[in-house]
A and B are shown apart, each in its own frame.
Chain A
Amino acid sequence: MSKTQPLVTIKGTKDGLILSLNDMCSYHHLIAELREKLSVNKKHYQEGPLISVKVQGGNRYLSKEQRAEITEIIRSQKKLFVADIETNVMTKDECEEKQRKGQLTSLTQVVRSGQVLEIEGDFLLIGDVNPGAKITATGNIYVLGSLGGIAHAGVEGDHDAIIAASLMKPTQLRIGDVISRSTDDMIEYGNPEQTMACAFLDSSYKKIAIDRIQSYFKRSKQLARL
């Protein structure tokens, strides 16, 4: 391996450092050079303000362990922290998972008492959720019908998920890890009929609020991914 082309290039920008890693050499060589480069400029990185580092791996697949190792090496310099490690490559599994999470699943049925539907991604239900039933989604939940049971949006912790229903009279709403029973402890924005309602977390991320769908989208400027 010739040393004419550096394997690790460090670029300074306004926002911090960008580390470009060569994607043709062996991982072993790369790590050796990364250690060397960082130790050369040691005194820059030991004092002064914190510097964020973006790592660009190019067309190299970096496994979880390798990512951890790179993070570890950069962290060992006191004033550096890793903002992001990006590569152009991901495994098939990761890709499929990402696709699943981003997709909209639609079902036409009545979800009845005792039934549980768990959906990855956004969920569009054409039908009712009866009292005693439960639906969960990692993304948003839209119910074209009456929502009478338990709905849990953003199951894996997405606090920006919303729950929308044509008729909102749930036993319980959950968004991320926030739970609210019925309408007692919800923030309501004048919608006594609970029709065409949309539940979301208020700005503090601590309470579930309910509003008409139209005004919610107007206010938050967030467009539905439908």
Chain B
Amino acid sequence: MGEAIVVTSGKGGVGKTTTSANIGTVLALQGKKVCLIDTDIGLRNLDVVMGLENRIIYDLVDVADGRCKLNQALIKDKRFDDLSLLPAAQTRDKSAVSPEQMKEIIDELKRDYDYIVIDCPAGIEQGFKNAVAGADMAIVVTTPEISSVRDADRIIGLLEQDDRLKSPRLIINRIRSHMMKNGDMLDVDEIMNVLAIDLLGIVKDDDAVISAANKGEPISLNPSTAASIAYRNIGRRILGESVPLMSLDDKPSFIVKIKRLLGMR
């Protein structure tokens, strides 16, 4: 029996889709059977970020309405042993699917997959309710901005009312270490003080994330960038390992430099 993880944030543009894509990728790289679900009906882009757009035939709404079988709608990502995507419909809106239907689909997927990663749309309306309906665990994504933290707080409040869900975990995305150091940005401790939930990981702002997304391949496939390492750490934490948080220092320390010279990462 698999575990369904919903990736949500409340506010738009904080990196839910990128995070979903990368969590799916790192879990698949660890040899798990993973299914990604895009629930952002009408504004789908998880398929674009994963580079699978041109292979969509059926979508989530088709499955919910019974126009196709679940297996027909799943797109298998050939880069991995076992990663599939259930894309959202582009032509309908959020009300095309009900929470009960979502729960049914996810329960069916849980039989075959180890992890089901659900990409939640922004907002707290129908789309959010659909995305959360079948989930067992929630990951809340926020950026170090006051508006995004406020929305994350609201979302955590809603998630905590749901007894089915394990207590949500937090990813702080798009950290700019120089701004945090200067105090121009909320720092990790401040955010943790307000939100008071477990921290799953921090991801630094990285240009490579955008260029990778544009190419249709998740950043975590390229192990050399800081963001990729951050996502890999997050993946390992989801699997239950305890991995220390990344340092936020931009410049590598003297010891790190020597280690690199010696070929140790």
Residues of A within 8 A of B193 (CB): 146
How many angstroms between the C-alpha atoms of A128 and B156 in the bound complex? 14
Interchain CB contact (< 8 A) of A115 among B150, B151, B157, B194: B157
Residues of B within 8 A of A121 (CB): none
How many angstroms between the C-alpha atoms of A132 and B160 in the bound complex? 16
Q: Are B154 and A128 in contact (CB under 8 A)?
A: no
Q: Are A110 and B150 in contact (CB under 8 A)?
A: no
Q: Are A131 and B150 in contact (CB under 8 A)?
A: yes
Q: State whether the Cβ of B119 lies closer than 8 Å to any Cβ in chain A.
A: no
Residues in chain A within 8 A of chain B (CB atoms): 110, 112-115, 128, 130-133, 146, 148
Interchain CB contact (< 8 A) of A113 among B150, B160, B196: B150
Q: Determine the residue in chain B with the shortest Cβ distance to A111.
A: B157
> What size tier do the contact residues of chain B reach?
10 to 19
Q: State whether the Cβ of B153 lies closer than 8 Å to any Cβ in chain A.
A: yes
Q: Are B154 and A114 in contact (CB under 8 A)?
A: yes
Q: Are B194 and A148 in contact (CB under 8 A)?
A: yes
**Is the contact region of chain B dominated by helix, strand, or loop, or is it mixed?**
helix
Residues of A within 8 A of B196 (CB): 110, 128
Residues of A within 8 A of B158 (CB): 114
A112-B154, A113-B157, A128-B196 known; 18 new pairs, CB 8 Å cut-off, are: A110-B196, A112-B153, A112-B156, A113-B150, A113-B151, A113-B153, A113-B154, A114-B157, A114-B158, A128-B194, A130-B194, A131-B150, A131-B153, A132-B150, A132-B153, A132-B154, A133-B157, A148-B194
Q: Determine the residue in chain A with the shortest Cβ distance to B197.
A: A110
How many angstroms between the C-alpha atoms of A132 and B155 in the bound complex? 12
**Is the contact region of chain A dominated by helix, strand, or loop, or is it mixed?**
loop
Residues of B within 8 A of A113 (CB): 150-151, 153-154, 157
- A84 CB to closest chain B CB (Å) equals 46
- A131 CB to closest chain B CB (Å) equals 6
A-contact 0/1 string along B139-178, CB 8 Å cutoff? 0000000000011011011101000000000000000000
How many angstroms between the C-alpha atoms of A199 and B158 in the bound complex? 30
Residues of A within 8 A of B194 (CB): 128, 130-131, 148
A-contact 0/1 string along B236-248, CB 8 Å cutoff? 0000000000000
CB-CB nearest 8 A-B residue pairs = A112-B157, A113-B153, A113-B154, A114-B154, A112-B153, A115-B157, A130-B153, A113-B150
How many angstroms between the C-alpha atoms of A148 and B150 in the bound complex? 12
How many angstroms between the C-alpha atoms of A105 and B93 in the bound complex? 44
- B1 CB to closest chain A CB (Å) equals 31
- B198 CB to closest chain A CB (Å) equals 13
How many angstroms between the C-alpha atoms of A133 and B150 in the bound complex? 10
Residues of B within 8 A of A114 (CB): 153-154, 157-158
- A74 CB to closest chain B CB (Å) equals 54
- A188 CB to closest chain B CB (Å) equals 24
Residues of B within 8 A of A110 (CB): 196
- A155 CB to closest chain B CB (Å) equals 22
How many angstroms between the C-alpha atoms of A91 and B153 in the bound complex? 43
28 contacts between A and B (CB under 8 A): A110-B196, A112-B153, A112-B154, A112-B156, A112-B157, A113-B150, A113-B151, A113-B153, A113-B154, A113-B157, A114-B153, A114-B154, A114-B157, A114-B158, A115-B157, A128-B194, A128-B196, A130-B153, A130-B194, A131-B150, A131-B153, A131-B194, A132-B150, A132-B153, A132-B154, A133-B157, A146-B193, A148-B194
Q: Determine the residue in chain A with the shortest Cβ distance to B193.
A: A146
- B124 CB to closest chain A CB (Å) equals 8
Q: Determine the residue in chain B with the shortest Cβ distance to A128.
A: B196
Which of B151, B160, B194 gathers most chain A CB within 10 Å? B194
